[in-house]
Amino acid sequence: MLTATADPVLSLSQAVAGDQTAFAGIVREHQAMVYSIGWHFLRDRAMAEEMAQDVFLHLYRNLGSIESARHLTHWLRKVATHRCIDQARRRKLVRWSDLEHVREPVAAESGRDPMLAGLLARLVAGLPPKPRMMVILRYQEDLEPAEIADLLEIPLGTVKSGLHRALALLRSKMEKETVQ
């Protein structure tokens, strides 16, 4: 049995050949990205792991179509993103925040407080599915709005306005929470 190597292209070809260790190496390299998209979106460890598991199993069946390491990252992000949004559509249990009544964000400064990270993550999870995913892709994956638009298959303008509204809502909610 071959072992996984640091060369992603070689790992891919080994995994395609059925090398379990090579595939495990690919999973290990990308698991934080895929799992975190699920975790921040679903806020449920078990569901996030299950989603990530399904994404990688789907990858294994489609390894032949992956052309490069970059393509692999893009493919995993896209599949994970759409799985999460599909899951949210199926659940439809959460009352999303109403973005329509939120003004465009204005410059506002607030003191940096690492303790607020947990609160902020929870507030992100309360956003409607699409804006939530926009925020995750923007701030977890550090993607540009154009890349987000490509992944979500929506117009760039929609992403920009969605991100602005989401930020305004998060900011106002966080202010309320911290005041209380």
Q: Does 104 bind another protein (CB under 8 A)?
A: no
SS3 state of residue 106: coil
Task: Tell me which DSSP letter residue 109 carries.
Answer: -
* Residue 34 or 149 having the CB closest to another protein: 34
* Token duo for residue 86: 């599909």
Q: Quick one: how far is CA 160 from the chain centroid? A: 17
Q: What is the Cα Rg of the chain in Å? A: 18
Q: Does 20 bind another protein (CB under 8 A)?
A: yes
Of positions 10, 69, 99, 120, contacts another protein by CB under 8 A: 120
Q: How many residues bind another protein (CB under 8 A)?
A: 50
Q: Does 44 bind another protein (CB under 8 A)?
A: yes
Say how many Å lie between the first and final Cα of the chain, rounded: 59
* Token duo for residue 67: 């052309």
62-101 binders of another protein (CB under 8 A):
none
SS3 state of residue 148: helix
Question: Where along the sequence are the contacts to another protein (CB under 8 A)?
Answer: 18, 20-21, 23-25, 27-28, 31-33, 35-36, 39-40, 44-50, 52-54, 56-57, 60, 107-114, 116-118, 120-121, 124, 135-136, 139-140, 142, 167, 170-171
